[in-house]
Structure 1
Amino acid sequence: MSVIEDALAALDLETKVKLLSGQDFWTLPAIPEIGLRSLVMSDGPIGLRGIGWRPDDPSIALPSPTALAATWDPELARTAGRALGQEARRKGVHVLLAPTVNLHRSPLGGRHFECYSEDPLLTGEIGAAYMAGVQDQGVGTTVKHFVANDSETDRFTVDVRVGERALRELYLAPFERIVGAGAWGVMAAYNGVNGSTMTEHADLQIGVLKREWGFDGVIVSDWTAARTTAPAANGGLDVVMPASGDPWGQALVAAVRSGEVPEEVIDDKVRRVLRLAARVGILDGAEPAVAESARPSTLDGAAVARKAATRSFVLARNEGGLLPLDPARLRTVAVSGALAADARVQGGGSALVQPAHVISPLDGLTAALAGEQTMAVGARPPRTRRWSTPPPSATPSAPTRAAGCRSPKVHSGPTSPVCSARPAGASSSVRRCPARTSAGWASRHPACHRPTSPSSRSPRVSRPPWAARTSWRSSASATSR
């Protein structure tokens, strides 16, 4: 027998079931009797957060995955993945909860910055390269969110109705590509598809993912997404996260003993968890998937992030040959928006990391263009999220002029602040008319509330069967991955 089969044979039912649920928010339990150490998971697609998520333990912050896809460079995506795998090993993390390969369906999708593209082919190719890079370091990946989790509206209860062809050619395609390339994990989404919530969806999790595609890794629930005992266990879900609100535990033991869930189903799940543990090197006696000597050489993570950001820029047009900026030709440069100085470099949520430092647009321009600078912050952006903190000098006042500004033509209105960076020797000023930039954000603008056409969205039902199960909802918004 193999190490995995020997370990499985040594476990009683209660211990096997224990291994299928989180022991806390980020980890699976250790079982010293079989030489199994605790498996540690962590967010996310932009950087490796780690368990502590502390300012004194910063992370590399890669550009948005959308920017990474804009490079059209799988090898660069693989290098980015290797950098995050290296970070994972430094922080003691075994499995990275990434990549996110849902599709850009609408500009209103609140987590699209975590995803690559509206194109399933591009998403699959960049995602597969990213996955391979992380796993080159002997760190597992979790491809998410399986499947059709492309909208944040009612995401815990929405039932996405989608035809077979669209499901196969659009939504499943990136997952198929990345699973086929060897991903070790997949995350089951909150939403339902065609009448069944994904954590219980046997047709997709067992029929397509495990049998048709031959996936031999672990399917883990999105955080608090699992809501039932026997239906989720029989539907193909392998691991429930986190520990809080777990519907398995003793309830699953009872379901096995009553015959609702065959013990062979439990054995298959445990076998998958042990296989993942062996791959990442935390099961004694089993060879890890990547020997330490075979891991890539040490990478400069900051240099990788800078290269990815530089390669991601797409110049749509360059009227009058203005770019690159030439100080000898410039009189003034206006940088609009409160976030010019307080850079919003991340989207927040599960993808948020603590970078070692941030260079704002104003910092970059100031360093590149010598001369006098004046700044007027203008209106305070709404604090819609705890991680969106406007500069302390921001005020919701009427138009003002920057202190010490020599020209009355530099305006700061209630809709868009302005910074004017004046190159050395320049004498004239620039006037900028108010425009929709910071105040109100996009979500408050009428254009953002136009109803989408039937062809641009998936039909949904308002109260699918699982929506009545409300015990899991109280903390879901704060813990979703």
Structure 2
Amino acid sequence: MAEKDEARRARRENGDEAREAAVEAALGRLGLDAKARLLAGQDMWSLPALPEIGLRSLVMSDGPIGVRGVRWTADDPSVALPSPTALAASWDPELARRAGVLLAQEARRKGVHVLLAPTVNLHRSPLGGRHFEAYSEDPYLTGEIGAGYVTGVQSGGVGTTVKHFVANDAETDRFTVDNLVSERALRELYLAPFEAIVERARPWGVMTAYNSVNGTTMTEHRHLVEEVLRGEWGFDGFNVSDWTAARDTVGALEGGLDVAMPGPGTVYGEALARAVRDGRVTEAAVDAAVRRVLRLAARVGVLDGAEPVVGEPPAAVDGEALAREIARRSFVLVRNERGALPLKPGTVALIGAAARDARILGGGSATVFPARIVSPLDGLTAALPEGALEYAVGADPATELAVAERGFTFRAICRDAAGNILGTASAPGGLIQWMGTDLPDGVTHATLHTVELTGTFTPRESGPHTFGVRGMGAFTLTVDGTTHYDDVQRPHADSPFEALFAAPVPRARAELTAGRTVEVSLTHVVHHPEGLPLRAVAFALAHCGPPRDPDELIAEAVAAARRADTAVVMVATTDRVESEGFDRTDLALPGRQDDLVRAVAAANPNTVVIVNSGSPVELPWREEVAAVLLTWFPGQEGGAALADVLTGAHEPGGRLPTTWGSLADAPVTRVVPVDGALPYTEDLFIGHAAWEKAGRTPAYPFGHGLGYTDWAYESLEVDGTTARVRLRNTGTRPGREVVQLYLAPQEPGTGRPARRLAGFAAAEAGPGESVEVSVELPRRAFESWDETAKDWVIVKGSYEIAAGRSITDRRLTAPINV
């Protein structure tokens, strides 16, 4: 094995040398204008081709759960994997690597060279609205999962951009907030996952964030980019801005930013060439940025004369099968009284709107369009005997307008100012989102005047249906032959992304009959606000079904629960609760879902609750139900995976990657800046460290999770920095256990948290079998950042190493001295 590793290393190093030679040759043939143009996006997703040096256009795409490609359309579907919180809940870097391999396969299929993922910001506060897109509250776990993901993607010859560098841990005022973080907290928490991934996975890219850190915007942060990322860590990839984040030509270049996206209206391009000619920046600095972009191009195979890092891609991966496996291995069983799960033979009442209309992913740039979605209702219907399942809505959390999807079919018609049709396109539900040159065939921004989103709607329920509009400019809304709105909708906030993330405005109310198809049309006069870096067409038709009496719905669910042997209640968040673009204001489940759970549990003591959310929510009824299973945003195969786990075909494999508790008890909650600044006053104490310091008991601690068998921890031995744990499966089924190691300094006054996660490993065994796992404790677990020395120092002394099932369920301990 060592000889093979050495051979691979030699081939890589020889390939690197050849690619560097090709890069230098290409760079030497470029003039200033071409170099400056290369550093500015040519459109929303790509960099320009430079045929004179054999450089083809380099294409980027959003992730992280799938590869959307360059068009926001369902015509080219994508595999939709479970959310990053779900992937981290597997505590399995190898599974993350396999996910990355699949995403590389998807990227190559769609002509994408760079995936804009993974997100490795931390769950600093449970109110962070985008936490579903990040892995964990813990920097070590985040680094391990992130390194696996990056390794997998790049093994397929596709680049990654680890993001958002750095301290982009909330959404409120994300474009302007100045996050004030101590150097020690930066090093030990927020930079730590990036450092681990750079060291272990050699990512080909990093994306710098919108926010500032300690007074300097990240796209101009020379200290963190040039001195730390590139200087100390040896990162040799390219640095791309978050979209529209670059603000100043000179500041960005001197701060180490290589590519300003999107284009063509960026601070680079012509502005950069002019800055060189004016003497405000040097051409040598431009060359350094271009060199890194050409290096990326060489690695992914779009630069003539350079062999790509990966010639033949890995063997094909079955996307549906892997999505299903990740989902079931991510589900966290946090409560299981009286063996409620797996389900016993008998009848099941499945309750909850999310069981029928599955929420599989979070909102914002993580959105992709899968070819199919298996809802929990679909999955359980297929898995259970005929007649065993009854369904009831119970409570619908989606009481607000949302982008029109179910029951709707749409196409977009583009016209010029004279009303002539320029082109048509399909539309993924009621959403139009065309960025830059991403327009239907035959359509240009110069000729486009109106877009009509037209189609049909077949309602599932009779009664008053509400329709709304998201976007800015003039709109005409017609439902079933009646024009309900014909006016101009104006912005409510000073944000370039309001048309993408703002709440829709109700504009029509129509009485419709279940099953009777009606025509629906929303026409938009295209509006291009001043100051945007590129032209975009973005608006949406929204819909909300007729309201039903919540008490009546709950009563129907209770009646179904009484008739069944087991009641399975699915509760969920909505895209108005968890999404890119805003933070949460509380952790409560929306609507009457808490009331629903309590009513069903009172009617049937064998009640199982499935929680469909990307990040923590409060579960005030958790002691009143038999079982609680967390499924995160489970991806397109979530319903099939849920059936696997509920029926016992597979055990739930997940462990909590972040602490679950009430907002009132959460130690760190502040996400709203004051006067533009957000001080991280908690310093090193976030997540489980903060809960332990505060002496508060969460609902479910970091690392917690149950399977369908039991484990006895028999011995812990430490030899140097290697820990070996022996454990036995004492249950009646085969199982998998995640052995977690926590390191605690014994001497006071270190200023560190009481303990930190220092390692983990998975053990698998059959009933009665014992198994041993070995974990090498990393040097960094014994180190602390010294702000005076500006360096890492080993904290010498006595430590306790504990092996267990969670941060609070520590089974065995042993001393260790350094």
Alignment TM-score > 0.5, same fold: yes
Question: How far 1:356 sits from its partner (Å)?
Answer: 1.4
Q: 3-state DSSP class of the match of 1:298?
A: coil
Deviations 1:420-457 (A, max 9, x none): xxxxxxxxx85999x9x99xx99999x9986976x655
TM-score by length of structure 1 reads 0.84
CA spacing shift, 1:278–1:340, aligned 2, 3 Å: same
Q: Hey, what's the Cα distance between the residues in 1 that align with 2:305 and 2:560? A: 75
Q: Hey, what's the Cα distance between the residues in 1 that align with 2:331 and 2:561? A: 31
Matching of residue 301 in structure 1 with residue 319 in structure 2:
yes
Q: What residue number does 2:362 align with?
A: 347
Q: Hey, what's the Cα distance between the residues in 2 that align with 1:409 and 1:291? A: 57
Amino acid corresponding to residue 397 of structure 1 in structure 2: R
Q: What residue number does 2:186 align with?
A: 167
Q: What residue number does 1:479 align with?
A: none
Q: 3-state DSSP class of the match of 2:195?
A: helix
Q: Hey, what's the Cα distance between the residues in 2 that align with 1:458 and 1:165? A: 20
Q: Hey, what's the Cα distance between the residues in 2 that align with 1:461 and 1:228? A: 24
Percent identity between matched residues is 59
Amino acid corresponding to residue 381 of structure 2 in structure 1: T
Question: How far 1:154 sits from its partner (Å)?
Answer: 1.1
Q: What residue number does 2:63 align with?
A: 44
Q: Hey, what's the Cα distance between the residues in 2 that align with 1:344 and 1:35? A: 44
Question: How far 1:386 sits from its partner (Å)?
Answer: 3.1
Question: How far 1:4 sits from its partner (Å)?
Answer: 0.9
Q: What residue number does 1:369 align with?
A: 384
Q: 3-state DSSP class of the match of 1:316?
A: strand
Q: Hey, what's the Cα distance between the residues in 2 that align with 1:374 and 1:153? A: 39
Q: Hey, what's the Cα distance between the residues in 2 that align with 1:461 and 1:128? A: 35
Asked whether the 8 Å contact 1:161–1:459 carries over to 2, the reply is: no
Asked whether the 8 Å contact 1:341–1:360 carries over to 2, the reply is: yes
Q: Hey, what's the Cα distance between the residues in 2 that align with 1:408 and 1:88? A: 45
Deviations 1:313-349 (A, max 9, x none): 222221010111122xx444342x3212101110011
Q: 2:249 aligns with which of 229, 235, 254?
A: 229
Question: How far 1:306 sits from its partner (Å)?
Answer: 1.1
CA spacing shift, 1:379–1:88, aligned 2, 3 Å: closer
Q: What residue number does 2:344 align with?
A: 326
Question: How far 1:138 sits from its partner (Å)?
Answer: 0.5
Asked whether the 8 Å contact 1:44–1:99 carries over to 2, the reply is: yes
Q: 1:136 aligns with which of 131, 142, 155?
A: 155
Asked whether the 8 Å contact 2:349–2:392 carries over to 1, the reply is: no
CA spacing shift, 1:388–1:448, aligned 2, 3 Å: farther
353-362 vs 365-374, which moves further: 365-374
Q: 3-state DSSP class of the match of 1:96?
A: strand
Matching of residue 415 in structure 1 with residue 592 in structure 2:
yes
Greater relative contact order structure (CA < 8 Å, 6+ sep) = 1
Q: Hey, what's the Cα distance between the residues in 1 that align with 2:393 and 2:107? A: 41
Q: Hey, what's the Cα distance between the residues in 1 that align with 2:348 and 2:311? A: 56
Q: Hey, what's the Cα distance between the residues in 2 that align with 1:222 and 1:388? A: 29
Choose between structure 1 and 2: higher strand proportion.
Answer: 2
Question: How far 1:229 sits from its partner (Å)?
Answer: 1.1
CA spacing shift, 1:450–1:402, aligned 2, 3 Å: closer
Q: What residue number does 1:462 align with?
A: 675
Q: Hey, what's the Cα distance between the residues in 2 that align with 1:25 and 1:171? A: 29
CA spacing shift, 1:408–1:22, aligned 2, 3 Å: closer
Asked whether the 8 Å contact 2:125–2:671 carries over to 1, the reply is: no
Question: How far 1:385 sits from its partner (Å)?
Answer: 5.0
Deviations 1:15-46 (A, max 9, x none): 10000010000000000000000000001111
Asked whether the 8 Å contact 1:103–1:150 carries over to 2, the reply is: yes
CA spacing shift, 1:200–1:368, aligned 2, 3 Å: same
Matching of residue 400 in structure 1 with residue 552 in structure 2:
yes
Q: What residue number does 2:208 align with?
A: 188
Matching of residue 204 in structure 1 with residue 355 in structure 2:
no
Deviations 1:101-135 (A, max 9, x none): 00011221111111110110010011001000000
TM-score by length of structure 2 reads 0.51
Amino acid corresponding to residue 302 of structure 1 in structure 2: E
Q: What residue number does 2:287 align with?
A: 267
Q: Hey, what's the Cα distance between the residues in 1 that align with 2:248 and 2:299? A: 29
Matching of residue 3 in structure 1 with residue 180 in structure 2:
no
Asked whether the 8 Å contact 1:105–1:457 carries over to 2, the reply is: no
Q: 3-state DSSP class of the match of 2:286?
A: helix
Deviations 1:348-388 (A, max 9, x none): 11111101111112222222333152424544623365388
Matching of residue 154 in structure 1 with residue 173 in structure 2:
yes
Q: Hey, what's the Cα distance between the residues in 2 that align with 1:404 and 1:397? A: 12
Matching of residue 381 in structure 1 with residue 426 in structure 2:
no
5+ residue gaps, structure 1: 420-428, 465-481
Matching of residue 94 in structure 1 with residue 113 in structure 2:
yes
Instruction: Give 1 or 2 for the bigger CA radius of gyration.
Output: 2
Q: What residue number does 2:706 align with?
A: none
CA spacing shift, 1:270–1:404, aligned 2, 3 Å: closer
Q: What residue number does 1:426 align with?
A: none
Asked whether the 8 Å contact 2:397–2:592 carries over to 1, the reply is: no
Q: What residue number does 2:233 align with?
A: 213
Matching of residue 62 in structure 1 with residue 275 in structure 2:
no
Amino acid corresponding to residue 359 of structure 2 in structure 1: R
RMSD: 3.4
Choose between structure 1 and 2: higher helix proportion.
Answer: 1
Asked whether the 8 Å contact 2:349–2:390 carries over to 1, the reply is: no
Q: What residue number does 2:263 align with?
A: 243
Q: 2:372 aligns with which of 347, 351, 357?
A: 357
Question: How far 1:247 sits from its partner (Å)?
Answer: 1.8
Q: What residue number does 2:128 align with?
A: 109
Amino acid corresponding to residue 267 of structure 2 in structure 1: P
Q: What residue number does 2:275 align with?
A: 255
Asked whether the 8 Å contact 2:46–2:58 carries over to 1, the reply is: yes
Q: 3-state DSSP class of the match of 2:240?
A: strand
Asked whether the 8 Å contact 2:173–2:673 carries over to 1, the reply is: no
Q: Hey, what's the Cα distance between the residues in 1 that align with 2:198 and 2:36? A: 26
Q: Hey, what's the Cα distance between the residues in 2 that align with 1:70 and 1:408? A: 33
Q: 3-state DSSP class of the match of 1:276?
A: helix
Q: Hey, what's the Cα distance between the residues in 2 that align with 1:418 and 1:289? A: 54
301-310 vs 19-28, which moves further: 301-310
Q: 3-state DSSP class of the match of 2:65?
A: coil
Q: Hey, what's the Cα distance between the residues in 2 that align with 1:279 and 1:405? A: 56
Give the number of aligned pairs: 445
Asked whether the 8 Å contact 1:108–1:448 carries over to 2, the reply is: no
Amino acid corresponding to residue 333 of structure 1 in structure 2: A
Question: How far 1:72 sits from its partner (Å)?
Answer: 1.1
Q: Hey, what's the Cα distance between the residues in 2 that align with 1:406 and 1:140? A: 51
Q: 1:35 aligns with which of 26, 29, 54?
A: 54
Q: 3-state DSSP class of the match of 2:306?
A: coil
Amino acid corresponding to residue 415 of structure 1 in structure 2: R
Question: How far 1:57 sits from its partner (Å)?
Answer: 1.5
Amino acid corresponding to residue 211 of structure 2 in structure 1: N
Amino acid corresponding to residue 327 of structure 2 in structure 1: A
Q: What residue number does 1:467 align with?
A: none
5+ residue gaps, structure 2: 1-19, 408-458, 462-544, 564-568, 570-590, 598-602, 620-660, 678-818
CA spacing shift, 1:401–1:258, aligned 2, 3 Å: closer
Q: Hey, what's the Cα distance between the residues in 2 that align with 1:241 and 1:387? A: 30
Q: Hey, what's the Cα distance between the residues in 1 that align with 2:393 and 2:359? A: 18
